[in-house]
Structure 1
């Protein structure tokens, strides 16, 4: 037996490597990555990382938004991108929602700076605090047309829109394009798996329905994404991936670390075998229809075949008059039109209401049956939280309410 082991090796010696297993799981998924292959820019060897760091001539300490973009470029969430967009790619995406090769891509991914000294050819170390997370070789430096960018992306150049505020006030004078090399994942208060890691956890060859959110999940949301598995375009063995964005959103939203805690307690409370959870280090733009397409594309890279499009998805209101920037079904219609080009099926969200007689049903059913829907606005809910009032269980899960009370 010993001689045989020496001659032929042990079973462990012939076991597939983690990289091979990851590739096998990737090919077992029903959904191929956007552009055909999943990008992974991370170096694994410490010596290679040290050499890459030593080759840099300057350093930029990145913002939280920039760190989200860097992570999604390096881990393949933004496949097929291998770096920040150069001027040609930026203009193409802004003006036509396409990369220069014609591939659908709805929002530009750019690195901004006010540093006049950085030029084309520079090698920059990108750091999150003291942690080196990537290097960037600058191939393009340009002054963007910010009013046109906002008009095309957000449908307005008004500073009433949080996306235009971000472009105008947060981003620097110049955009930098160039390839990245990944060094270390940014450190966050919530664990963010790569597309390859999420794909490894999904069942083989089944429909995967993605649910995007940026707020705590309440009862209506849970009913919405579990009932999506009964949609006529979803196979019977399908599963749901609840994939909240935990990066920066718009002012007034609940902080990402608090949202993460609500998701964790709900995952434990519901323990639904057909519901998977993962967290996305994504910076929201509140770009409505265009952002719906960006979310679909990202989830395609995470292995999802379907995507739930909610009413007012990624929408926002004027900071002056409170009017919506987008129509209630604008994102849904846009996703239904463009989803086939992505290879992702849109699943329009049901307009669910709660009735004391039948629980959650569609608004149309409630109207047909003459039933009154119980309502609780977000403003009223937050006031009840602050006052310590009892929150009705038809509206919110007790575990989620408890986390929100502790954070208030």
Structure 2
């Protein structure tokens, strides 16, 4: 008989170092399963799990000694689905034709995609003013039942003065895609002031020029924001050959259930995967097995929305990731590769909360966080924009993320003695070579090979071919060197 277990994590305020000791497991036939374990990461408080069983058709139990936990609940309860049922689309289209229209940008469409599938659960549309202010000032939303969910990035739609005048007192607005096609409807709308300076300062902690998302989106946007309940007339597709990777939270949960996952650990990235990343992911799975989980599944989840111009394009990254699995660096049987559709802000500790929160809605209950997550170099000065350690510290304290277990990066570097990527050993520091992202991409741009064991050969070839294509497109012009 199929069974599901819902885990309730009890918080403490203890701040202790990383500890991944094996869980102590107590089982009782036809009763609850109690797991007593030392925390994986004490900042995020997995000190004791009390697991109660309930009937479900999605997670079969193969033995009474098996640890079984249901996928983590979405924020706010059940997942929202804002795509109009096919049977109602013609009627909705006809209704929308008579509404005032707002034209969306390519990045607006990415946010429509995010909202429509429940990545921002429980949001049901672009933020109205009260939601916007809570997100901007508190990094969270308080729901009607008094519970709190994390929401560190405002998800808003900007309009200009002409749009505002055209909408006037209309309660509903039609949304047009960049090509003029009808994308959706925004109902019971509210229009409010878009204070760009305040939004930039609170999201990024600076108003310095050169912030990629700011320059691409916010400075060019209108002076008003419009919020409302979103109805999307068709599932968002990009027709770029990668749509089969764009699994929704609901589809991912179905996949995890099909694989009988008893834990899901997510790895967020926007760069190629080298063997140091793979070492970390494989080590995480090993440690979860040592805790007593039977089938932890890795969600390798590259960001697929807007990125700055000098980042490796999504199609190249996805090809490189596929080679990592083909070469056996990661196990396809225990890895799900999918695209996370969110645009990238490069907003450091503020944005990493969004990245973690969204993976909760996809069913992940463990989240791997690295050095300077979602950070970048300062756009004006020669330094990191954010403290490299603040991302993981903020995640450990962020409101609304208490049920997510944070797994901080171990430091990996190239071991010149063993000739492979390994966890850094301070006692023989001189034997380790740190290969930065900039150095890696310089190797690829110049057609040089990195040290053996740094990246799988198939994945490295993808990068080299990409940089060769850039040189072919612009003879005599070296391609942009990507930031670390």
Same fold flag (TM > 0.5): yes
Q: Does 1:40 align with 2:81?
A: yes
Match of 1:405 among 447, 459, 464: 464
**Partner-residue secondary structure (3-state), 1:308:** strand
How far apart, CA to CA, are the structure 2 residues paired with 1:181 and 1:164?
27
Q: CA RMSD in A?
A: 2.4
Matched residue count: 383
Report the TM-score when normalising by structure 2: 0.74
2:253 is the alignment partner of 1:199: yes
Q: Which of 83, 90, 104 lines up with 1:50 in the alignment?
A: 90
| Aligned residue number for residue 236 of structure 1 | 293
Residue 8 of structure 1 corresponds to which residue in structure 2? none
1:348 aligns with 2:390: no
Alignment of 1:126-141 (within 5 A): 126-127=176-177, 129=179, 131-141=181-191
Residue 384 of structure 1, aligned match among 428, 433, 443 = 443
Structure richer in helix, relative to its length: 1
Distance apart, 1:274 and its partner CA: 1.9
Deviations 1:293-313 (A, max 9, x none): 111110000000010111100
Q: Which residue of 2 aligns with 1:260?
A: 318
Decide whether aligned partners of structure 1 residues 385 and 124 sit closer, same or farther in structure 2, where only a CA change above 3 A counts.
Answer: same
Separation in structure 2 between the aligned mates of residue 130 and residue 407 of structure 1, nearest angstrom: 33
Alpha carbons of structure 1 residues 216 and 131: separation in structure 2 relative to 1, 3 Å: farther
Contact 2:357 2:401 in 1 (8 A): no
- Corresponding position of 2:21: none
CA distance in structure 2 between the aligned counterparts of 1:355 and 1:339, rounded to whole angstroms? 39
Q: Superposed, which structure 2 residues align to 1:65-76 within 5 Å?
A: 65-76=107-118
1:89 aligned residue (122, 131, 152): 131
Secondary structure of residue in 2 paired with 1:212: strand
> Residues 4-403 of structure 1: matches in 2 within 5 Å?
25=58, 29-45=70-86, 47-56=87-96, 57-101=99-143, 102-114=148-160, 115-116=163-164, 117-119=166-168, 120-127=170-177, 129=179, 131-166=181-216, 168-188=218-238, 189=240, 190-191=242-243, 192-202=246-256, 203-204=259-260, 206-231=262-287, 235-237=292-294, 238-270=296-328, 272=331, 273-338=333-398, 341-358=401-418, 359-363=420-424, 365=425, 367-369=426-428, 371-403=430-462
Q: Which runs of 5+ in 2 are unaligned?
A: 1-55, 61-68, 468-484
Q: Higher strand share goes to which structure?
A: 2
Q: Which moved more, 1:129-138 or 1:270-279?
A: 129-138
Secondary structure of 2:171's aligned partner: coil
Report the TM-score, using the length of structure 1 for normalisation. 0.87
The alpha-carbon deviation at position 162 of structure 1 amounts to 2.8
Residue deviations 1:220-242, cap 9 Å, x none? 11111221224469653322110
TM-aligned CA distance change 1:170 to 1:407, over 3 Å: farther
Shift, 1:138, TM fit: 4.9
Q: In the alignment, is the contact (CA less than 8 A) between 1:133 and 1:185 conserved in 2?
A: no
- Distance of aligned partners of 1:254 and 1:338 in 2 relative to their CA distance in 1, 3 Å threshold: same
- Separation (CA, whole Å) in 2 of partners of 1:68 and 1:267: 27
Residue 110 (structure 1) shift? 0.5
Any gaps of 5 or more consecutive residues in structure 1?
Answer: 1-22
Query: By how many angstroms is 1:26 displaced?
Result: 9.2
Any conservation in 1 of the 2:119–2:249 contact (CA below 8 Å)? yes
- Counterpart Cα distance in 1 of 2:387 and 2:291: 26
